[in-house]
Amino acid sequence: MKMNKIFFTIVLITSLTKLNAQQLSIGYFPFNNTFSITSNPERLIIIDGRIETNTFFGNINPEIFGIINIKRSDLFNIYSGLSCKTIIIDGFNDEDFIGGYAISLGSRFKPFEKFDNVHFLFELSPYFNKEFKSGILRAYIGISYKFKKHE
C-alpha cells in the first residue's frame, strides 16, 4: 500500500511537470462524460489527464495516461499507452490510491486543414481493477482543441 502512494505521487508530479512545459490540448468525450487535458499531442510521448464530469465530488477519480504516438501524419495520429486510475477518497481514508489500470489504443483525426487544431478522437481502452480480477472494454469518442504556440 505504501508503494502505491509513492507511485501515485511520482506519476502526478511528473505529469504536472510535463503538462506545464508543453502546448496543451483539451478534450471532451461526451458519451463517457470525461474531460481531458493533454500535453502536446504532436510529440512522441504524451501525458494525458482525465476526469469524469458527471459524478459526485467524493467519487472524482482522475486517470493519468502515458501515451506514445505510434504513427504521426498531417491527417491523423495513432497512439497507444497505459493509464492508472486513482481513487482520491480512498487514499485519504488510509486505503489504496490506485483503482485500476488500462491499456489504450486510439487515433486522433485532423480532418480540417484550415482548422488543424481541432481533432476528433477514437479510443479503445480495456480497463482492469487493481487486482486484475475484473475489467471492462471502454470506448471513447470525442473532440479536442489543441492550443497553438504564439509566434
Q: What is the pLDDT of residue 60?
A: 76
- Tell me how far apart the alpha carbons of residues 37 and 24 are, in angstroms, rounded to a whole number: 7
**Long-range CB contacts (< 8 A, 24+ apart) of 33-40?**
34/140, 34/142, 36/142, 36/144, 38/144, 40/146
Rg (CA), the chain: 16
Q: For residues 121 and 138, is the Cβ–Cβ distance under 8 A? A: no
pLDDT in tens, 59-115: 778 899 999 999 999 899 999 999 998 887 655 566 677 889 999 999 999 988 888
Beta-strand relationship, 76-86 and 63-72? antiparallel
Q: What is the pTM of this model?
A: 0.77
Give the cell for residue 143.
473532440
pLDDT for residue 29 is more than 60: yes
Give the cell for residue 132.
486484475
Q: Which residues lie across from 103 on neighbouring strands?
A: 82
- Tell me how far apart the alpha carbons of residues 36 and 9 are, in angstroms, rounded to a whole number: 20
Share of the chain above pLDDT 70, in %: 76
Q: For residues 23 and 46, is the Cβ–Cβ distance under 8 A? A: no
